[in-house]
Structure 1
Amino acid sequence: MNKIDAVFIDRDGTIGGDDTVHYPGTFELYPFSLKTIRRLTNDGVNVFSFTNQPGISRGEATIQEFTEELQRFGFTDVYICPHGPDDKCPCRKPEPGMLLQAADDYGLNLNKTVVIGDRWSDMAAADEVHAIKIMVETGAGIATLEEKPSKLEKMKIDYIAKNLEDAVEWLSHT
């Protein structure tokens, strides 16, 4: 993993929860997520959360609530898009805005980063910046693989992992 500048990990369905949004206070991590995030940071890898949370713009939660929760999980930094799909925001996945902002903030070479997520929009954002793409089968992962194969075929997923732990184990051997 020495050649990796950073790992970006989606929230809902990737580190916990399911294929729906669970707001801070009700969100539950998968049993292996903290240990897996810690494994990356102990290896000297910057680990970023990047997540679409349109409920923020609807007043259902705040950026601060999400940020505080995600920081407790051990992320180096947190990138959140609070906008809905109709807002056409450049930071909302599938757009790469959050990845570009992190690259600017931390001096990252996005060609040497990894994106781990459970939706085609995570993979599309990664594809835009030529990051390594790992799709997990947790959350919306299996449904995405079954329902969006044409979208995924165009972007060549590097690895389909059982879960976050499997994704990081695969990375440790690349």
Structure 2
Amino acid sequence: MKHPALFLDRDGVIIENCSNYVRSWADVAIFPQAVAALAAVRDCPYRIVLVTNQSAVGRGLISQATAEAINDRLLAHVRAAGGRIDAVYMCPHGPDDGCDCRKPLPGLLLRAAEELDIDLSRSVMIGDALSDVMAGQAAGARAVLLRTGRGGDQERLPGAADLPPFLVYDTLADALPAVIESP
């Protein structure tokens, strides 16, 4: 039987966005409410999957190994706080590279669904940008926009009204209890 998933963007959802890119662990500012929310849903039946665009790699600002080390350290922090993230899928490409994994395209979610036996129709994509909402919708998942990170500004963009309906919450701690349901 396929599993539902909670697909989570990283920057603006679990950690603060960094205007000059997250280039090292020193740039990481974790949202305490997000880590607490992940601990609270540790035993839920959903796979919890981080899906993140990291164009700093494609732009040559950091190496792939550095990006992976930052993600690994974040997962260790979440685990130490009692939370769970089951997998990380990262697009390392720049915006002009023409890949199929950079959100708003659904490539990361589709790959995770295939590799982790995920039922996309029972899954949720949670992010702080319209590109996250679009990726979730393109993959066939429900979409949630958080007002943390860029979400408050993204919600007011003219393009937001042109998308199919999506849910909006202030924080990950607000969203998770509301979107998790029995599979």
TM-score (norm 1): 0.88
* Distance across 1 between alignment mates of 2:18 and 2:170: 15
- Contact kept in structure 1, 2:9 and 2:51, CA below 8 Å: yes
The CA RMSD measured in Å over matched residues stands at 2.0
The answer as to 2:144 corresponding to 1:134 is yes
* Distance across 1 between alignment mates of 2:68 and 2:51: 14
Q: Hey, what does 2:28 align to over in structure 1? A: 27
Give the unaligned 5+ runs of structure 1: none
1:47 aligned partner, one-letter code = I
- Contact kept in structure 2, 1:49 and 1:70, CA below 8 Å: no
Bigger Cα displacement from structure 2, 130-139 vs 42-51: 42-51
CA deviations on 1:40-77 (whole Å, 9 max, x unpaired) are 23223211111100111233233422331342233100
* Distance across 2 between alignment mates of 1:152 and 1:8: 22
Q: Hey, what does 1:5 align to over in structure 2? A: 4
- Contact kept in structure 1, 2:137 and 2:143, CA below 8 Å: yes
* Distance across 2 between alignment mates of 1:103 and 1:58: 28
- Contact kept in structure 2, 1:136 and 1:161, CA below 8 Å: yes
CA deviations on 1:109-146 (whole Å, 9 max, x unpaired) are 11111010010100010111221111100110011011
Matches within 5 A, 1:53-132: 53-61=54-62, 62=64, 63-72=67-76, 73=78, 74-132=84-142
Bigger Cα displacement from structure 2, 159-168 vs 24-33: 24-33
Q: Hey, what does 2:162 align to over in structure 1? A: 153
* Distance across 2 between alignment mates of 1:113 and 1:173: 10
* Distance across 1 between alignment mates of 2:145 and 2:43: 23
CA deviations on 1:52-107 (whole Å, 9 max, x unpaired) are 00111233233422331342233100010000110111000000000001001111
Secondary structure of the 2:42 match is: helix
| Identity percentage of aligned residues | 30
1:11 aligned partner, one-letter code = R
Give the unaligned 5+ runs of structure 2: 79-83
- Contact kept in structure 1, 2:34 and 2:171, CA below 8 Å: no
Secondary structure of the 1:32 match is: helix
- Deviation of the 1:152 alpha carbon: 4.5
